[in-house]
Amino acid sequence: MKRIIDYKDNNVGGGADDHNNDNNNSSTFRYLCTIKELPVGKSRQFSVRNAKGTKEIQIAVFNVDSKYYCISNKCQHQGGPLSKGILDEEKKVITCPWHGWKYSIINGKAPHKGGDSVDSYETKIIKDKLYVNAIPTNIGSRVTQPHKEYSDLENSVRDYLNHMEKDLL
């Protein structure tokens, strides 16, 4: 038996109660909110520390029929907020609110062949409190290439920043 002690309270609900937990990765679980704070049919975004505790990651959590699904909140296309997308509850697919890219909320993968994917995370409820494992169950990947104009712009910004950095030395 282990205890969840290494979680971040996102300023909503919950405190540092002792919780019994039988998961070996308990130290990577982060507290999100009470289950009342994420009712059926709703989604929310959270910011939690990554598994190493070195940076914050943005995640989207969905409550579908009292099951909780969690993926990255950042769309692979241009970073659109997936928690604010349109959810097909039957297929468990979220459509990004910005330009319509789609991801499974179960594993973060595109529902079609060859699409980009986002990280997905395991959730867990202990005594009416919702936790997420900061270690992704699936790591998202970018497979589509940006348009040439976009790549050129990205490269020129990178060059500019490199020059700026050197000038400051």
- Binding interface with ligand FES (CB under 6 A): 75, 77-80, 96, 98-101
Identify which of residues 91 and 99 has a Cβ nearer to ligand FES in the complex: 99
Identify which of residues 4 and 110 has a Cβ nearer to ligand FES in the complex: 110
* Residue 149, H or E segment: helix 148-168
**Residue 82: CB minimum distance to ligand FES, A:** 8
Name residue, tokens 């009712």. 39
**Residue 142: CB minimum distance to ligand FES, A:** 12
Identify which of residues 33 and 61 has a Cβ nearer to ligand FES in the complex: 61
Rounded to whole angstroms, the maximal C-alpha distance in the chain is 56
Distance between CA atoms of residues 148 and 113, nearest Å: 22
Contact 125, 131 (CB under 8 A): yes
Identify which of residues 53 and 79 has a Cβ nearer to ligand FES in the complex: 79
Identify which of residues 58 and 98 has a Cβ nearer to ligand FES in the complex: 98
- Residue 40: is it exposed, middle or buried by C-beta count within 10 angstroms (0-12/13-18/19+)? exposed
Identity of residue 31:
Y
**Residue 136: CB minimum distance to ligand FES, A:** 19
Residue 42 CB coordination number (10 Å): 13
**Residue 8: CB minimum distance to ligand FES, A:** 26
Contact 10, 31 (CB under 8 A): yes
**Residue 127: CB minimum distance to ligand FES, A:** 36
